[in-house]
Structure 1
Amino acid sequence: MTVEFREDGKCVLEFRDIKTGESHRFRGEFQADFTKQPIPVSVRSIPELPHALHMIIAFGADGSLYMSQFSTQWRLRPIAFETDKTVKLTRVPQRQSDVIE
């Protein structure tokens, strides 16, 4: 899984099936409320989906990003992390050739 949050408010979510190598990429516009902990994030205007995706994120001391499961409804998004429903992502140094357009 790759997540890219850009300064212009756009984001890219990419999911790759390890077994088949098949990948799915979703592009959208995100909003995050950094005044709250964990940080609520909404990804909207996703052409590939008929709904938005809502989640919470938190930054780890080691630079990692913790992300909850997705919800399709804002009111049903997680408000706390659950061990079995949380993904830990590690920051990968970005090379210019890796930039997703």
Structure 2
Amino acid sequence: MPFSSLNARDVDRETALHVSAYHSNIDATTVLLPLVSISLRDKYDDNALITCTDEGHTHIAHLLIPHSSTTKNGIFRCNPLHISAAFRHVDIVRLILPHTDA
């Protein structure tokens, strides 16, 4: 499958990586990660890391953090650290903190 097809978007501008992160599909996320653009954002201006932190998927966040910006905000001016703290996803907060200037 061509690289561009892997970055295709649905009606909400989500990529396959957004969907695998949202559904906590570690196998799909692992396969997609080296093949897709991790910086693509959906209609809410969220990247896949914001999507998984919102859902509290620690193991997906662990995969995405080394490849993602932890300081870029989505449409609601919240970055992954804000979101994980707001939803009390303490394990994700601990993962993100070493990758921020907080």
TM-score with structure 2 length normalisation?
0.24
Compare the two structures and name the one with the higher helix fraction.
2
Which is greater in Rg?
1
Higher relative contact order (CA closer than 8 Å, sequence separation 6+):
2
